[in-house]
Every structure is written in C-alpha cells, then in structure tokens.
Amino acid sequence: MGRIRFLNKYFLTTLLSIGLISFNASAADVPSDVKLAKKQVVRIGNGAEPDTLDPNIQSGTNSSAINYNLFEGLTNQGLDGEPEPGVAESWKVNESGTVYTFKLRKDAKWSDGKPVTAEDFVYSWQRLVNPETGSPYATYLDIMNVKNASDIVKGNKKPSELGVRALDPHTFEVTLTKPTPYMLNMISFPAVFPVPKETIEKYGVKWTKPGNMVSNGAYKLSKWVVNSEIVLERNDQYWNNGKTVINKAIFYPISGTNEINRYRSGEEDMTYNPLPVDQFKKLQQDYPSEVTIAPWLGTYYYNFDTKKPPFDNKDLRKALSYSINRDAIVKFITGRGEKAAYTFTPVSTAGFKAPNSKFATMSQAERDKMAKEFYKKAGYGPDKELQFTLLYDTKDPDHKKIAQAIASMWQQTLGVKVKLEAQEWKQYLQTTLGTDYDVARSGWIGDYNEPSTFLSLLTTHNGQNRSHFSDKKYDDLFAQASLEKDPAKRAKLYTQLEEIIIEEAPVAPIYQYASSRLVKPYLKGVDSKNNQDIQYVRNMYIVEH
C-alpha cells in the first residue's frame, strides 16, 4: 500500500510538472468538543545526550528527534509518512524529473524574526557537502543525485558548484543529474534543513547553544543542561504558530529503569523508544492502554571493521554472522514485536524484495554447521583461538543483554572468546567512525522509506559506513540502481546488493525494529502510523485530566 502511494506521488508530480503542486500542512488537530489542559508542557524521554543539534552534522535519533521540532525543511512527513509542505508551500518538477522548483512561504521566518529565504537552503546544502564541514551525511545529496554533489564531496569541485540556486528570495531550484523518485521523501530529513548562515559565522561551533541558536521550526531552544534536559519553547515566529498547542517541550536524555520510574511517578509524558526489554511485559500489564507498539523502519546490526585484521576476512565475518541465533534474540531477549533480520534492508521497506537466500531459510542448526565451516576456512579452530572485543553504547541497557547473549552464542558454537566494552554514546560514535574497534553494535532507522537509505550506507564513500566496507561491484550496482527509473528493475538491483551483503558480510543484521513506548492517555497527537517514528510536537496537545 505504501509503495503504491509512493509511486503515484512521483508520477503525479511528473504529470503535473507544468504547474505548481500544493498540499495542506498538518498541525495539532484538536476536536471541537475536547477541553484542553491549562498547562501545555510535554515531557519526553530522548534516550541519550544528542551528539549535536546542528542539522548538517547530527548523527543519531537522539539529535533528530529534537531537530525535527527546532527546524523545518522544504517538506515535512505527514501522519501517513508521505511528504507534505514545510517551508515550501508548493513545487513543480520539469518533464524529465531532473529540476525541482520550490516556492517558499513568504511568512516563513527564523526565530529572530528574519525571513527564511532560498539562500538559506543554498547555504545549508552547500555546507552539507563541503568536506570542511565533516558531515557524516555529506553523501546524502549524492544519493539524491544533486548535480556535482559527488565531485564536491570528493574534493574535485567547489561547494558553490552544487546544483542548487536561489532564483529569488522565495524560489529554490534543485538540479539533479538523473530523476530521483524518492526526492520529496528525502528533503524532509534534518541534514537538508536550512541553517542560519549569519549565526553560524558569528558563533562558529557554539551556534547551537541557548542564546545563540536561531531556528525556523515550531520551537526554539531555551535551555540545554548537559545530561539533564533540553528545553524547547514555542517559536512565535513560526509560520503556523497559530495552530500549535504545546507551549514547551522538555527532552530528557534518559532511558531504562530511571525513565520508567520517572514515567510511573508522573514526571514524564512519553518515553524513549523502545521500552526496556526486562520491563516490557510488566509494563503491558500495568499500562495496557498506554503501551504503544508500531512498525519501525530500522535494522539492529553488528558492524565488522572490514579494514582491520582478522575482520578483513569475509569467511570469519560470515562465521560470526551465521552463528547468531536471531530468532532466540527476538523471542527471549527483545520480545517487543521485533523480527529476526536476514537482510540489511527491512523487508517492510517500500520498493524492496528480499533475495531468496539459504541464509534466511535454513534452520539455526544448519547455520551453526555452516558457521563452523566458515570459521575453519578462515584459519580458526581448537588450535587457533579467536579473541576480540565487542563494543556497544550505553544509551540503552538492552545493548548489553544482546551483546552478552551473542558473545555466549559465539563461544558455544565457535569457541570464540569475546571481551565486552561499553562506551558512552558520543564516545561510541567517534570510535566507530574510526578504526579503533573490532565488532560494534549499530542500528539504522531509515531517513526515508526507500531501500537506498539502508543500502547506501555500505558504499565506499558514505560518511556513515562504519564497517569501512569497500567493494567496487557493490558501488557500481548501487550507482546503477540510482539511475534506474523503472521501479521493478530498480528493486532487482537492490536485491542483488543484498546478495552481496550476505556473501561479503560487512555487517551482521540481527533484527528489524518495532517501535514501543509509553504515552500518557492525556497526551494526544502522537503519531503511531509513521514507520520512521518522527514525532512532531507541534501536532500534539494535552487534554484536561
């Protein structure tokens, strides 16, 4: 169903390219018979301290959850996951699908009252691809097929040569090298939100601090106490402020037992996603109407550092991947609706067809047998023992439980000795971007609902390629897929890419996420339909209770 809507929207924009297309924007939808609470302050669990609130540089859902509320891009995601107007009130596409022209709202303003202009988007997009910025999303516009993005990221062209222009203060033009059917879905992601040039040039890296930051979303930053809370207040300059209800949003960088205790005592209105494994069943019993479970477009997986011996050996990587009992993990450890993953791309992703793989269909006993064969082929066994460190982050206590279980599986099946190492979130991000690890926990939530958001991660030059995997055939196939206009043919190319992942095993997919959280019954407007779990506070409201 999602795929049909997705493709129809692309063809609609193409067929109607001679004119402007506009849609209604969403906001808090309060029924006329509902009595609102006098105090409109929402308290939200955010898991961990954000690495940054700079949209161009952020990495991780702990940052994006806040940035979706501080900033607004050309489009937003509607309640059904489809794009709807943001700063752009309308747009048109040329007949070849390679030039997008966005008309910006004349009433779109920054929180300091200055207008949001096309030049703000030009600056942001050029800053994103500029190698000097060091963004982990530098290749995002290359995936979007924006003209010259690839060469700029590689340092072969200047950021000013990027295929974006301000035709006038309220007209932003994007030129692609080839049609990108999922273009409108991609531009609702924080990496391509506008950023304030004047503020950034004035404050440098300190521009995201309270008192310095200028934003264009429904909220503005008023307070940031590290490891305590981030407070957003309503932005009265926001173009749709009149339909916003929540006056203040407080994000707490906590998860696990501490957060659940806060929720139980009435100090939090919506918890971090997902809920703690060891408390999930009890929470369902205690709060049957407050536990929400929904699909979540993401994969939990382990990265192997493929540039570091002995993990540069694909047989060893396959031995470790095959010996993970994924069904046991989702049944006995997570148990919140997750599905065992045998592909890197979630099977629910629009436009994706999983390969017919023995890896996915054989029993765990058969996989263990294959794992032992791969292990022996890699040169390991009773006479040569493998020892390494498994790294995970501390923002979710479940990571430790899963790591302990998998380490035990590896020891029992292969005789591997694993040392577990935990790092705080920010340190973990830095470690895994480098080459100072062996195997590391990771997870990816799709930036948009299309296979390329996952498969692009393993291309050689992707800034989020933490396995440091580099394979020419893979890169060439991905480039071919991005050129392919026919959805069926493109899906076949995506299937071939997954086959390479199974064969080379740069990552070990473990399970596909499900969203689970606690939401107080008086908090309304929480989106449970969007499989990317984007929560816009401007859509929420609190009823009298």
Does residue 533 sit within a domain?
Answer: yes
Does residue 288 sit within a domain?
Answer: no
Do 533 and 444 fall within a single domain?
no
Beta pairing class for 248-252 and 41-45: parallel
Helix (H/G/I), strand (E/B), else coil: 303: strand
Strand partners, 299: 444, 512
Do 484 and 384 fall within a single domain?
yes
Does residue 508 sit within a domain?
Answer: yes
Do 393 and 365 fall within a single domain?
yes
Does residue 280 sit within a domain?
Answer: no
Do 427 and 507 fall within a single domain?
yes
Does residue 395 sit within a domain?
Answer: yes
Do 407 and 531 fall within a single domain?
no
**Length in residues, the chain:** 545
* Per-position pLDDT tens, the chain of length 545: 332 333 334 434 443 343 445 455 667 889 889 999 999 999 999 999 999 999 999 988 999 999 999 999 999 988 766 789 999 999 999 999 999 999 999 999 999 999 999 999 999 999 999 999 999 999 999 999 999 999 999 999 999 999 999 999 999 999 999 999 889 989 999 999 999 999 999 999 999 999 999 999 999 999 999 999 999 999 999 999 999 999 999 999 999 999 999 999 999 999 999 999 989 999 999 999 999 998 899 999 999 999 999 999 999 999 999 999 999 999 999 999 999 999 999 999 989 999 999 999 999 999 999 999 999 999 999 999 999 999 999 988 889 999 999 999 999 999 999 999 999 998 999 999 887 899 999 999 999 989 999 999 999 999 899 999 999 999 999 999 988 888 999 999 999 999 999 999 999 999 999 999 999 999 999 987 778 899 999 999 999 99
- For 47-106, where are the E strands, in sequence order? 75-77, 83-85, 88-93, 99-104
Do 342 and 231 fall within a single domain?
no
In angstroms, the CA 351 to CA 451 distance is: 7
Do 225 and 333 fall within a single domain?
no
Residue 536 DSSP class: -
pLDDT of residue 11: 39
Does residue 261 sit within a domain?
Answer: no
Do 349 and 457 fall within a single domain?
yes
Do 56 and 189 fall within a single domain?
yes
pTM listed for this prediction: 0.85
pLDDT of residue 185: 87
CATH number for position 103: 3.90.76.10
| Residue 503 tokens, joined | 């064969």
Does residue 291 sit within a domain?
Answer: no
Total domain count, the chain: 2
Does residue 260 sit within a domain?
Answer: no
Q: Residue 248 CB: number of other CB atoms within 10 A?
A: 17
Q: Residue 545 CB: number of other CB atoms within 10 A?
A: 9
Do 524 and 476 fall within a single domain?
no
CATH number for position 464: 3.10.105.10
Do 366 and 470 fall within a single domain?
yes
Domain extent at residue 465: 296-514
Over the Cα atoms of the chain, what is R_g?
23
Do 304 and 219 fall within a single domain?
no
pLDDT of residue 400: 96
| DSSP string for 201-261 | HHHGGGGGSTTT----SSEEEEEEETTTEEEEEE-TTSTTGGG----EEEEE---HHHHHH
